Structure formats: structure tokens, C-alpha cells
């Protein structure tokens, strides 16, 4: 997949990395079991400290998206779908969005429609463009 990082954004680089890799997995651009660059390679290619990449990978590992093998490096977990579900975080995020939408007068149907559409075509490009602003 193609990562696009904005070096002068308010969002920290490790967060941008984490978010884009999650989007990549969600949209299918990154397949389960697909390898990721090593911490060193990615740090050299982006031109940042290895610690930053390492931080993003550790978050992804703790959240259960990737696994890090000593010999084969980092890769997307094979058993992703049967893994622990991010319900708590999802509920928090969604309730915040639902409240914001309701406060501004959006009805339930429109909200659900947007949710459905977003879920059906997860688009990494959108996130990148948003970040690039």
C-alpha cells in the first residue's frame, strides 16, 4: 500500500502511520499475513527516527493488528478477524460522532446511511487527503 505522511501536520507521525496502516488493513490494501517494512527500512525511507516507527508498530501490535517476528519482521496478523473486537473503543468513538450529528440536527436514518456507506467503501485516499490539508 501507499503511505502518505505529512511531516508538518499536528497529528504525530507515529499516529499517522498507525492510522494509515489500520486503514490499509480495513480497506484490503494490506492483506492478512502481508509483510511490512522493517523498522529500520521504514525509518530510512521516511527520513525519521527509528523510535517513531517502533512506537507505531508497538501500538499496532498491542491493538492486535500486526505481529512482529524476530526473523521475518513485522506482518499483518493472519488471525485478525477472530481476534479481540475493538467494541469499547468503537462505542466511544461512535457515540461521540452520533452526539455531534444529533446536536446538529441530523436524523437517525441519515446517520446510519452515512455509516453504512463509509463501512462499505473504506477509502484510504480520503484519510490521506484529510491529513494533507
Q: Which of 15, 27, 37, 61 binds other proteins (CB under 8 A)?
A: 37
* Distance in angstroms (rounded) separating the CA atoms of residues 126 and 124: 5
Cβ atoms within 10 A of the Cβ of 76, count?
A: 19
For residues 8 and 133, is the Cβ–Cβ distance under 8 A? no
Between helices 13-27 and 124-132, what is the axis angle to 10°? 160
Task: Specify the residue for cell string 446511511.
Answer: 113
Q: Does 45 bind other proteins (CB under 8 A)?
A: yes
Binding segment for other proteins (CB under 8 A), chosen from 45-53, 95-103, 105-113, 114-122, is: 45-53
Q: Of 2-10, 59-67, 88-96, 105-113, which part binds other proteins (CB under 8 A)? A: 2-10
Which part of the chain contacts other proteins (CB under 8 A), choosing from 47-55, 79-87, 92-100, 106-114?
47-55
> Rounded to the nearest whole angstrom, what is the least distance from the CB of residue 119 to other proteins in the complex?
22
Contacts of 38 (CB under 8 A, 6+ apart): 73, 74
Q: How far is residue 102's CA from residue 98's CA, in Å, rounded to a whole number?
A: 6
State the minimum distance, in angstroms, from the CB of residue 4 to other proteins: 5
Nearer of residues 7 and 103 to other proteins, judged by Cβ: 7
Task: Name the one residue in this structure whose C-alpha cell is 507521525.
Answer: 13
Nearer to other proteins, 75 or 101 (CB): 75
* Binding status of residue 30 toward other proteins by CB under 8 A: yes
Amino acid at each position: 500500500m501507499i503511505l502518505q505522511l505529512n511531516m508538518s501536520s499536528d497529528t504525530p507521525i507515529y499516529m499517522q502511520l498507525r492510522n494509515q496502516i489500520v486503514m490499509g488493513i480495513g480497506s484490503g490494501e494490506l492483506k492478512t499475513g502481508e509483510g511490512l517494512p522493517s523498522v529500520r527500512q521504514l525509518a530510512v525511507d521516511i527520513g525519521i527516527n527509528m523510535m517513531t516507527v517502533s512506537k507505531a508498530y508497538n501500538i499496532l501490535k498491542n491493538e492486535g493488528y500486526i505481529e512482529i517476528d524476530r526473523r521475518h519482521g513485522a506482518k499483518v496478523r493472519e488471525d485478525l478477524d477472530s481476534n479481540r473486537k475493538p467494541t469499547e473503543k468503537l462505542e466511544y468513538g461512535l457515540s461521540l460522532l452520533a452526539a455531534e450529528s444529533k446536536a446538529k440536527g441530523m436524523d437517525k436514518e441519515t446517520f446510519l446511511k452515512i455509516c453504512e456507506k463509509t463501512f462499505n467503501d473504506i477509502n484510504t485516499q480520503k484519510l490521506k487527503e484529510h491529513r494533507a490539508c
